[in-house]
Amino acid sequence: MKLIGKLAAAFLIALMLGLGSAWAVINNMLPFAGRGGTVQNSAWTTSLLTGSNAADPYTRAIVARSGLLALDKSETVYFTAFTDDGGEALQTGCTYGISGSRLPARWWSITAYGADHFLIPNEDGKYSEDKNSLTWLGDGAEQRFFFTVGPDAKSGDFIPTGHEEESAPFSLTLRLYNPEPQVIETPGDITLPTLTKERCQ
Amino acid sequence: MKSWPFWIAGTLVLALMFHLAAVLSFPHVVMDLVHQGISKQAGGANIMVHPPRPDASSRGVVRPSPDILYSSCAFDLTKGPVKISSPVPESYWSISLYASNTDNFFTVNDSQTRGGSAAVILQTEDQNPPAPNGIPVVISPTPKGVALIRALIVSDGALPEVEAAVKQATCEGM
């Protein structure tokens, strides 16, 4: 009887450890696993393995959780930010200024997602800004855009993060459709939009 | 003799096996759910569905783009090849095909097509498609999977036009 008890305990502990660690990896909570091909560019991270057949089992599992049915890098390169430029987690209760210049792709957009990886409910039904929807300031190659992301973002270009009672983490995804070669060759060196925290509630 | 080191080692090895099994099977389980979800919406496999533009209530696939209209088809090649065809609008558009382990094994976009429409015949390695008539044949690594058509909504004003175009996209057993 003692042996059966011990075996059952070992089995349960192994099950919890095994499934718990797998869940942690799949949710990208561990810094080491599945990081092959991951590139950091300021606050933004991308994995050029997303959507490709060369993806290792860890990348494939992470993509199945947070980027299922993604496109391969020649169609779209996805950059995701979970933090601002200061390295602090993006929070729906804070307001951020996002600024940048022309991006090397045929078309691009920036979308906000809640902690559940779905679009954040808000009164305006507005979830993204893109190359065509933004107001461009200045001329030629010097042209810049600026928009705000936050609970009370209402003027100019903006993405609202809703009015949930408690501030929750959120993330931003920048999609570059049909990116220029430099995006795939040196994703860590291209200039991406800046994410500056302006204020918190 | 002390037995606890063996117990710890055994538990860790078993934990590692559970870990690997979970990581390896997760993509298949998720794809299976997506396949079932799309089939249910469409009323069966090999039928294209045209859900509305994604918003905060969309729960089909994680991180949907609100600027894209997605049409999808849960394909099943066990009874024969499947033909997917779609009109190609003026702005960004693509058909991408995903195997049952989530791998994106084929994509074609608007700039690679001509004449305002596109089609592919999807089959497994051992199938012989009926005369393709110049339509490209794509081999699927797994008999089941998902075809996804993306059409960019360039502006809110362009929505009706893009919607009308992608609604004509079809998926049919041959």
- Output the CA–CA distances (angstroms, integers) from residue A33 to A78, A151, A159, A173, in the order listed: 20, 34, 33, 22
Residue A27: predicted pLDDT: 78
Residue A35: predicted pLDDT: 53
Residue A41: predicted pLDDT: 93
Q: How far is B67 from chain A (nearest CA, A)?
A: 8
Mean pLDDT of B56-72: 89
Sheet strands side by side (includes B93-99): B48-49, B68-76, B144-152, B93-99, B104-109
Contact between B97 and B138 under an 8 Å Cβ cutoff? The reply is: yes
Predicted confidence band at A34 (pLDDT cuts at 50, 70, 90)?
very low
Q: How far is A200 from chain B (nearest CA, A)?
A: 23
Can you name the residues that pair with B87 across neighbouring β-strands? B117
Helices and strands per DSSP (H, E), number in chain A: 3, 10
Tokens matching residue B52? 């509305």
pLDDT in tens, A140-156: 878 999 999 999 867 78
Residue A33: predicted pLDDT: 44
Residue A54: predicted pLDDT: 59
Residue A65: predicted pLDDT: 79
Contact between A48 and A74 under an 8 Å Cβ cutoff? The reply is: no
| Percentage of residues in chain B having pLDDT higher than 90 | 68
Chain B residues closer than 8 Å to A22 by CB: 18-19, 22-23, 26
Mean pLDDT of A52-64: 77
Tokens matching residue A112? 């906000």
Q: How far is B120 from chain A (nearest CA, A)?
A: 18
More confident site: A139 or A37: A139
Is B51 within 8 Å of chain A by CB? Answer: no
Q: How far is B166 from chain A (nearest CA, A)?
A: 18
CATH number, domain B42-173 = 2.60.40.1610
Q: Pick from A70, A121, A127: which is nearest to B66 by CB?
A: A127
Chain A residues closer than 8 Å to B18 by CB: 14-15, 17-19, 22
Mean pLDDT of A120-134: 91
| Identity of the residue numbered B114 | R
Mean pLDDT of B53-66: 88
Strands (E), A29-90: 38-41, 44-47, 76-81
Mean pLDDT of B114-121: 89
More confident site: B143 or A31: B143
**Rounded to an integer, what distance in angstroms lies between the CA atom of residue B95 and that of residue B83?**
12
* Burial call A160-173: b when 16+ CB within 10 Å, e when fewer: bbbeeeeebebbbb
Sheet strands side by side (includes B117-123): B137-139, B117-123, B82-87, B170-173
Tokens matching residue A76? 């779209």
Q: What is the residue-averaged pLDDT of chain A?
A: 87
Residue A87: predicted pLDDT: 94
Contact between A195 and A43 under an 8 Å Cβ cutoff? The reply is: yes
Examine the predicted complex and report whether its ipTM is higher than 0.85.
no
In chain B, what are the domain boundaries? 42-173
Classified as helix, coil or strand, A134 is: coil
Inter-chain CB proximity B19 and A72 less than 8 Å: no
**DSSP states along A75-141:** TEEEEEESB-TTSPBPBTTEEEEEEEE--SEEEEEEEEEETTSSBPP-TT---EEETTTSPPBSSGG
**Rounded to an integer, what distance in angstroms lies between the CA atom of residue B30 and that of residue A138?**
46
Predicted confidence band at A52 (pLDDT cuts at 50, 70, 90)?
low
Chain B residues closer than 8 Å to A157 by CB: none
Chain B residues closer than 8 Å to A175 by CB: 65
pLDDT in tens, A78-104: 999 999 999 999 999 999 999 999 999
